[in-house]
Amino acid sequence: MGKADGSSGNVGGRKGDRVNGKKIVITGATGQVGLPVATSLAKENEVWAAARFSDQKVRARLEEAGVHCAVADLGSGDLSTVPTDPDYVLHFAVSRSNSFDKDITDNSEGTALLMTHCKAAKAFLHCSSTSVYQEKGHDPIAETDPLGDNHRVMFPTYSIVKIATEAVVRSYARTLNLPTVIARLNVPYGDNGGWPLWQLLMMQNDTPIPVHTDAPTIYNLIHDDDILAFVPKLLDLATVPAPIINLGGDERVSVEEWCTYMGELTGIQPKFAPTDKTLESVSTDNTKRTELLGPTTVHWKDGLRRMIAAQQPHLLKS
């Protein structure tokens, strides 16, 4: 794999389970997934976080971890503070305003500008989402399954803009001859939070949790530790044209099941509100990911306990 001219897929000489001694640009480093990735990689690499940094506390947290903070705006194309010579780019940023024009500008056009700015990189990792798929009931969805608009009921622009941005990434990988890989993330969570944490807060406030009428509402939770562990392997897979890989955890688990388990841990029982005005099941077929990257290691029950201990320790019964 690697550049279309046939150069090695062992990008930048990095092979194995670690990235060290590299210059890395990370977008979305102020977010749920990007932040733990950035702070972890900064231990052994020169990491640059590109963001608007509207939350100064998050910026301070990144800087304390040794991350260089570059004030930038993908939508406007203001990337003057972002290095043009990184070894790797990890693109986790996402903008969601529910305006198609703004979201296409910030996400799709912004990604093209970022790839052009960092075209000398050895590998570009684009974090997409399984929101790009057409619903398939309770059956696992493979990378080759049809695309659709499965988030429209809650986030009008999200799925379509994610699909549009993937098209941009694929096109610019070929145009720039930039080794690229696209990871379609399912439901990320970890010590930094995630969707289950919001649901736990709803439980604490006695707010019913929406679940789809086509029960159970199944996903593949994936812990931040597993996402971080997969990053080096994903970078090794970057090539032209860009491969696409589902990034969900090994276990299929429903919203109903994980909320009930959080209730067991905290003594706060969830209330469910079945409706067709919420997200349906989107479960990943992990065959390709397991073959290329290996298995996940954090069981969802262990991960949820850790999340609560990190975010709401007073709620744990023991």
Domain that holds residue 274: 190-219+253-283+298-311
10 inside domain: no
317 inside domain: no
pLDDT given at position 125:
98
43 and 99 belong to one structural domain = yes
**Res. 234: pLDDT tops 50:** yes
Q: Is the peptide bond before 313 cis (omega within 30 degrees of 0)?
A: no
Query: Helix (H, G, I), strand (E, B), or coil: what is residue 121?
Result: coil
pTM of the predicted protein model? 0.94
78 and 225 belong to one structural domain = yes
DSSP string for 223-246: EHHHHHHHHHHHHHH-BSSPPEEE
33 and 112 belong to one structural domain = yes
pLDDT given at position 8:
36
Distance CA 161, CA 156 (A): 9
Q: What is the mean pLDDT of the chain?
A: 94
257 and 231 belong to one structural domain = no
Of 7-21, 63-77, 153-167, 183-197, the least confident: 7-21
pLDDT tens profile 2-40: 443 333 343 433 445 789 999 999 999 999 999 999 999
15 inside domain: no
Specify the CATH number for the domain of residue 156.
3.40.50.720
pLDDT given at position 16:
55
106 and 195 belong to one structural domain = no
pLDDT given at position 318:
73
Average pLDDT over residues 150-170: 96
pLDDT tens profile 288-309: 999 999 999 999 999 999 999 9
Burial class (CB in 10 A: 0-12, 13-18, 19+), 43: exposed
56 and 178 belong to one structural domain = yes
201 and 132 belong to one structural domain = no
pLDDT given at position 10:
39
81 inside domain: yes
Burial 270-302 (b: 16+ CB within 10 A, else e): beeeeeeebbbbbbbbbebbeeebeebebebbe
203 and 278 belong to one structural domain = yes
172 inside domain: yes
82 inside domain: yes
pLDDT given at position 18:
84
**Res. 207: pLDDT tops 50:** yes
Of 10-14, 81-85, 168-172, the least confident: 10-14
293 inside domain: no
174 and 140 belong to one structural domain = yes
Q: How far is CA 152 from the centre of its chain?
A: 19
197 and 179 belong to one structural domain = no
121 and 139 belong to one structural domain = yes
* Domain tally, the chain: 2
316 inside domain: no
**Res. 218: pLDDT tops 50:** yes
pLDDT tens profile 61-82: 999 999 999 999 999 999 999 9
**Res. 245: pLDDT tops 90:** yes
pLDDT tens profile 102-118: 999 999 999 999 999 99
Distance CA 236, CA 123 (A): 8
194 and 179 belong to one structural domain = no
